[in-house]
Every structure is written in C-alpha cells, then in structure tokens.
Structure 1
Amino acid sequence: MVRYTENSHSAAPNRKCKMILKNEFLFRRVLLTYNKKNYASIQEIQEGNQIPPEEALDVKGLPMNKSTLNKETRRRLKEILYEDILNTPAIDQIKVLKSLAKLEKDIYTSLSSGSKDYYIPSRIKSMYSYKDPETVQGIKAAMAYNELKDSDMEALDLTQINSIDIVKVLINSKTIEPLKETNPELYEKISNLLKSSTFKGEITSLAIPINEKTPEWVIDFIDFNTIVSNNIVFPIESLGIYEGKCNYTNVIKL
C-alpha cells in the first residue's frame, strides 16, 4: 500500500504516509484454491453490520455451488465445508475425508436402491429439432431406452418434447457378458444396439422417463464411479490432500 501511494504521487518526502482504510468485510476464515475467483469464506461483518450466522457462508466459483449439481449433494458439501473447515478451531483432514466418504457411500446406496435422486434431469426436444440428433446425449439416451425398455414400459415419442432422467451407465460387450445366462433376450437386444453406428460398441447414458421407475437390470450397469466423481467436487487440494499415485525420486513436493 505504501508503494501504491508512491506510484500514485500521493506521498511526500517531508511527511509520513497516512492511509484511511475502510474494512468492507471481516472474515472469520477463508479457504483459497488454485483457481481465480474460486474460494469460500465465513463473513462476520459487512461495512460494520453483523451478518446473520445462517447467511455467513459465502461460496464463490466452486463447482459445489453450481445449480446443475444434485441439490442434496450441494447441501451436504456445503455442510462439510462449513462445519469441518471454516467453522472449526482446527482442520482435521481425516474428518473431512470421512465426511466425504460417508457422502460417497450414501450416493452408492441411493443408486443401488433404484432411486433416481442422482440421475440428471433433462428435457429434450423433438429429434427433428437437431441438425445431428444422434450426437445429442439426451436423444441417444432416449433411443437406447426405447430399444431396451421392459415390455410393460411406455416408449418415448422422439418426435415430441420429453422430460427424462439420464443415468450414466457402462454398457459394452464385456459388461453384458453375464446376461448370456441370466437374460439372453436382453443380451441379444443390447448386442444388436452396440453394433449400430449410433453407439459404436458402447452405451454411456440411458434415459428413464420421469414417471417410470428404474428397471432392475439397469442397476447392474450403472457407472457408479463417474456419478460419484461428478457429485463429489470438493477442493481437497486446498487442505493439503492430494489424490492419485505419484512416484518421487529425488524430487520434494512442498
């Protein structure tokens, strides 16, 4: 700040520098990340006014704050952020990891039960509204559903607007192998679909009409890892916690 006054020609050699500063915010604690404008804080006072505790948490730019994220996941992640990081005398890395692990287990349990809470709600237009409909995730997911749905389930009319839930799946020639014995009819349907130019050997998304339950066979093909990874978006590196495997020789990582 002293350098700034000198550069702006407001300092003089015959008198001490005097600055009048205004404290816009008083923060209890701030969590910074490696990305610009991505941080979280507890704000206590704004321009001399006490901020109510229920409004004190301020999250800027972090993925956990995006509206596209599951509502319950957003609530749980903010709860961990507030209670285990910003509003605690000392940060316990193990406690944070345990809280995230509990959330991961709850997501897995929800998906395994057939719940659609962690599916992606979507609204697709008529397939004729798209220049190349077979490249649109929602249309491809709906096409897969129409081909693989149970006989008592209603098909999606792709010439109309449809509200659907999209679940990430991992369906390919390897993962469907057990169906040869347990459900040969479904195995044949999927095999034929995988041979089409639309899917090219892999189905990664499957649509379920919003008023339909998840067919039991779908649960075996849910891509749990991708769904969990897309939901648990948390700045753990800012806490000194690093993921992945690294081989170090004579390099020290600070």
Structure 2
Amino acid sequence: MAANGLALLIASACTAGATPAIAVAPQYDTTHVYVASDDFERFVKSFLATFGGTASKEIIANVTPTPSTTKSQIIHAPVGTLSVFGYVTPIPAPFGAERNGFLVADFDAAIAAARADGAGLIVAPFEDAIGRNAIVQWPGGVTMQLYWHNVPPHYPALATIPENRVYVAPEQADAFIRAYLAFSQGTVVEDDRKAPGIEVGEPFHTFRRVLIDSRFGKTLVLATDGQLPYPWGRETTGFEVADLDATILKAEAAGVFVVVEPFSAAGRRTAFFEFPGGYIAEVHTAAKS
C-alpha cells in the first residue's frame, strides 16, 4: 500500500488488525452540485452571498474518464465545501447522480475497503489532472465519489459540520448503515424509529432517523416510505447556521427562494432553500431553549 502525504492529516493510531483510517476531515468532503452552464455563475454568487466564504478560480476541464467538458469551481463556505459543475457538453453517465465527493487518505485502501464493506464500484478508478477518482454505490442506491489528490489540499476548518442527508427505503436502511459504518469507522449517535414525519413533509406519519458521526462528518439516514412532497428528498446536504432568520434574509436578497418556510422539529428550526439553477438545500439552526 503506497504511502502519501495525506496520511499526515489523519490519526496514525489504529488498533492491531483494524481497517486503516481513510477519512481526512469534513471540510474535504464536498457536496456535488450540478447546474446548467448558464446558471453556474448565478449559483456560485448566490451561495456565497447566503453563507459567506470564498470560491476557487473557475476552470473549464474534463473531470470524467470519457470525453466531456464542464465549468468547475470549489466553494469554501463556513457551513461546508461544494464542488460545482456546469457542463457545456452532455454529462456522461453515471456522473451527476453522485451526491458528494469524499477525500481519502489512501486511495487504494479506500477502494478496497468500500468493496469489502458492500459498495459496488460503478465507475472504476480513473486519473484526472490532479489525482485519482472512482464512484461507488452503497446498499440502498446511495452513490458517492471517492477522490485523492497528488498534492494534498489544505482547506480551512468549517464553522459547522454539514449533514449528508441520505434517503433510503426502510428495508434497506440496516444494510446501508452497516456498510457505511464499517467503511467510515463511524458511530451511531441516534437511532429514532418513530421520528416525527413533519421532518420529511409527512406530518401524519413517523419514519426512522439515524444520525452517524465519523471523520467524514455527519450522515443523517432518513428511512421513509418515499411518498414525500416537494422538495423533500431532493436535498442531499443540510447546512447548519447560527441564525436562520438572518440567513433567509441574505438568501432572498441573493435571489434564493425559500421553498419551505421555517418549522420546528427535533430540536431545530429548519427551512428549505432553492438556489438559482434549482439546487435544493436544507438549512437549520438549533432551536432556542
């Protein structure tokens, strides 16, 4: 197993015989956002105006193993990191379906661990200009990209850790949780099998909500019947802010629509935003006691 510079960014202590730690830190786990090329700049500006932060220089490149061209930019916001893509050619399958990209400390070890833990390799490892990538799919159909950089990146720490919001069928929840826990070396923080349905737009039902924490960050598993009103299920990430009302004012001034007005549940106030280009995000703050 080849060593690389990213190993310096992770804890080196592992129990004998345990799977090596492969996660780096939450700020390196990016939400993937696909918008039309014409909406690209509007989306980036509106997201930064809403949450603050900075963006890398926009580039135009091929980031897939087959011919394609996309605008690409990284957003570094206090609430999370985004990889934004605005394709100027058709998007080759299955790109566009992955929800996020996880930076790993050792690429080969991560691929081997994902496969051993039950993930399918739906895009075999490939190289781009700055590193290596692959796309894996977990039980329940949850798809994500694993990536590694030739030169270790250095991103600022986050003010709040975003939630990777995963919707799965109830009968596949245990399989996903088991596989993802093994891969992420995470822990279950909460497992509520009778969570109030208002959290997923179904106020007269309950559902199962499982919160997992790991070095990859927070993962919120939502096992529902799938009969969800818009926009629930369209969001892949939940962003935590200190003041929801102030954030809404910034968002609306930047051309963002509040598609679900604030409501209280599970110890938080929540709203859903729709950004230029159609990207949906859950935004929440801890409820005042």
TM-score band, normalised by shorter chain = under 0.3
Instruction: Name whichever structure is richer in helix by fraction.
Output: 1
TM-score, structure 2 length as denominator? Answer: 0.21
Structure ID, larger Rg: 1
Instruction: Name whichever structure is richer in strand by fraction.
Output: 2
